[in-house]
Structure 1
């Protein structure tokens, strides 16, 4: 940018900040930067990226500042590239959003370490901030402090932010202990077909929560003193369903038994967090959880969520797709063991270090070094199962892996109505992917990838799969409107660039 533009942008930012009544230090805190950096920006003495302008616009709620950012973000990928070196897996976004919702259980302060700075987290923080929770980033923006008010202002909830994330459903469990009547908007998120909320409502009804769904919102009424008369049997072994039941049980004055519970990674992280709040839980990691709830929770809590196994799988798939040698550090191996066993059968060459504990002291980590391998298609189909089976979110990554293998692979994505359809977009990059029905695809490999320009699929994991295939494709590819990737991954393009990828971000201005 020219000095003239920098001065003009700086003046816009200063005027917007003053209009909001913020000091330079307060704006710096919201941006996870320093007061002096904000001062340099406002004086036009600091080069500033479009991404930073966008973040400032969001922090100041200023359309003037965000005019230069109005268009969606795109990625320009130059391939084929070889990845090399090492990369750390970051904390789980699915665990982080559950823990943000769980912070409503205590009247004390919650500190979360190494929080994923992604759109999904920002949307939940927007909702929490709108109802009165004080949100503060610490330690250069890596840690997060949440301080609840004495009384939540639920009438002021940021409806627009709440509609953009399905995770807002997990407000039902904790809010039923804070007020007898409340409303939350219908949940959004990825476009994965119809996903019923009935299992949530069935489980929470046994704690006295009744929900009417009208006018685009869930209208909830909580009846105090209602207790489950028998074990709660979840009608689906879903992650968020289990988490909602746990959040309701945590503040229930008594013992609750939850059967057919998900033992998946984000559920275990939530259990470890609840234990630090003083809630005793038996059976963590199994399908039967016995929760000894507390009627009041007022303690402060400091917790570090574990690393994300799905991010680890995506980095592993990147190495396979580009036929690269890559070390992936801090892999939560307990939640990837079936995936790794399947890949071993396909011929993957890799090493793993001895296990060591995550920062939460409970989750088992290892470092994986993946090497170029001649893969063959598996003899059986690839399909998800509840933990400890192949994680449903890891299924799409097997499409790009199968495209690199010799032979035909059947992938059966039976959980979601539409997601398998998005995998057929790989054909535009040279893959041989045949859709058998809305849940099943046949992938024939190996693939000679070719560059192309695509619109980003509206589902997170298929979108990342397209990006990984572009890394392997000779030439320049363009992936347009990557908001959905930013919902689930922090700085993915920059981090891939750090290990050898060539990805540029740009916008149509």
Structure 2
């Protein structure tokens, strides 16, 4: 039987939360552990279904991995397989990260098109084009992608990405750290999670400079060693809980945060009238009277722009703001799939292609709704907390991919959410 979340809303929330580790860092770093000779200990790793999927992939490749108290231990010394079964690839989008790591470690790989949230086409052509420049032969048959390196090691190359794709940047870095020669990535993604991956690889002995900027230089090494590393906090989960307090009203102290990395989101949320006081590793926020709409369009952009992953949760909060807010989604198609459920709860939202116009209403009301993707599901939880009555959210396997026991977080803030 599929689980559901039952939320009784309309209550002011307050309390403290410790922010979980970043999903979008943990997954590529787990893939990167395949490149190290020896044991890697990854601390602050979130307990998520996507993390368990990554662990199963590592096991399939011959690695030993264990998970205890938010610490993942990976020993890749016996890794001997370069094939990921299709059913494992389908479990999550980030499975494509293993391509670069397998090419670096095994010099070959067989994968299929990955699964995960249905957010419209996220083609992997950019990934394949990049690794081809590094001497990788790629063939595609029947949905399977077979990669091999005739020369034995990837070759350093100059690669200019047509778009600063996070996934393509990560795959090139993973392939390049054990390559022969220097690799330069131009128009690289600048997301904090890229810096976290590069930080982990440097701790393993990699030579990488420029991460966080649009030009990354990787000088290939022959070997990497194991290390102990702490994964950064999850800035999108942080944005979700700040949106929750903004929508329901109340105050929160968010601990173990990454305030600087969350600035693109915080600077927009401050325009709603919330009082936000970020420090180095914690954020205090208070939501007083009714939220104000955001006057200028909220445009999702690659970092350091407004993050696409925070669009849905902020929209849920602004659906009860005073005035009209406008969103422009520039990263993914099909990223407004949560709007139908918000409208069912009483929101006034009009979608026209990449534009969503949100006219704030006085109150939302509870309803039976279904999560269709990870961040859209989180948006429904935010809206449910602000709504009068009871909301029943199904499809919560999407939410569990990115949020560690979301019902416990609600309860810590005085909210009423239970899993049934």
TM-score range, shorter chain: over 0.9
- Deviation of 1:180 after TM superposition, in Å, equals 4.0
Q: For residues 285 and 269 of structure 2, what CA distance do their matches in structure 1 show?
A: 13
Q: For residues 179 and 154 of structure 1, what CA distance do their matches in structure 2 show?
A: 7
Tell me if the contact between 1:424 and 1:435 (Cα under 8 Å) persists in the aligned partners: no
Residue ranges of structure 2 left out of the alignment (5+ in a row): none
Q: For residues 283 and 275 of structure 2, what CA distance do their matches in structure 1 show?
A: 14
Q: Which has the higher mean CA deviation after the structures are superposed, 201-210 or 236-245?
A: 201-210
The number of residues matched between the two structures is: 419
- Deviation of 1:417 after TM superposition, in Å, equals 1.2
1:248 equivalent among 170, 175, 199: 175
* Alignment match, 2:246: 320
Q: What's the TM-score once normalised by structure 1's chain length?
A: 0.79
- Structure-2 change in CA distance of 1:452 and 1:498 (3 Å): same
- Deviation of 1:373 after TM superposition, in Å, equals 4.1
Tell me if the contact between 2:154 and 2:175 (Cα under 8 Å) persists in the aligned partners: no
Alignment of 1:37-436 (within 5 A): 71-138=1-68, 141-155=69-83, 157-224=84-151, 225=153, 227-229=155-157, 231-297=158-224, 299-353=225-279, 355=280, 365-436=281-352
Tell me if the contact between 1:327 and 1:370 (Cα under 8 Å) persists in the aligned partners: no
Q: Which has the higher mean CA deviation after the structures are superposed, 248-257 or 85-94?
A: 248-257
Of structures 1 and 2, the one with the larger relative CO (CA 8 A, separation 6+) is 2
Tell me if the contact between 1:326 and 1:371 (Cα under 8 Å) persists in the aligned partners: no
Tell me if the contact between 1:336 and 1:390 (Cα under 8 Å) persists in the aligned partners: no
Name the larger-Rg structure.
1
* Alignment match, 1:8: none
Tell me if the contact between 1:126 and 1:158 (Cα under 8 Å) persists in the aligned partners: no
* Alignment match, 2:406: 492
Tell me if the contact between 1:234 and 1:260 (Cα under 8 Å) persists in the aligned partners: yes
- Deviation of 1:226 after TM superposition, in Å, equals 5.3
Tell me if the contact between 2:173 and 2:218 (Cα under 8 Å) persists in the aligned partners: yes
Tell me if the contact between 1:85 and 1:327 (Cα under 8 Å) persists in the aligned partners: yes
SS in 1 for 2:299: coil
Backbone CA RMSD of aligned residues: 1.6
- Structure-2 change in CA distance of 1:369 and 1:183 (3 Å): same
Tell me if the contact between 2:301 and 2:331 (Cα under 8 Å) persists in the aligned partners: no
Determine if the alignment matches structure 1 residue 473 to structure 2 residue 387: yes
Residue by residue, what CA displacement relative to the aligned partner does 1:328-386 show, whole Å, maximum 9, x if unpaired? 12221122212222222332222233x2xxxxxxxxx3322333244322221111111
Determine if the alignment matches structure 1 residue 460 to structure 2 residue 356: no
SS in 2 for 1:334: coil
Tell me if the contact between 1:85 and 1:499 (Cα under 8 Å) persists in the aligned partners: yes
Q: For residues 191 and 151 of structure 1, what CA distance do their matches in structure 2 show?
A: 31
Residue ranges of structure 1 left out of the alignment (5+ in a row): 1-70, 356-364
Q: For residues 309 and 186 of structure 1, what CA distance do their matches in structure 2 show?
A: 27
Tell me if the contact between 1:203 and 1:232 (Cα under 8 Å) persists in the aligned partners: yes
Q: What's the TM-score once normalised by structure 2's chain length?
A: 0.96
Q: For residues 193 and 362 of structure 2, what CA distance do their matches in structure 1 show?
A: 34
Q: For residues 16 and 202 of structure 2, what CA distance do their matches in structure 1 show?
A: 34
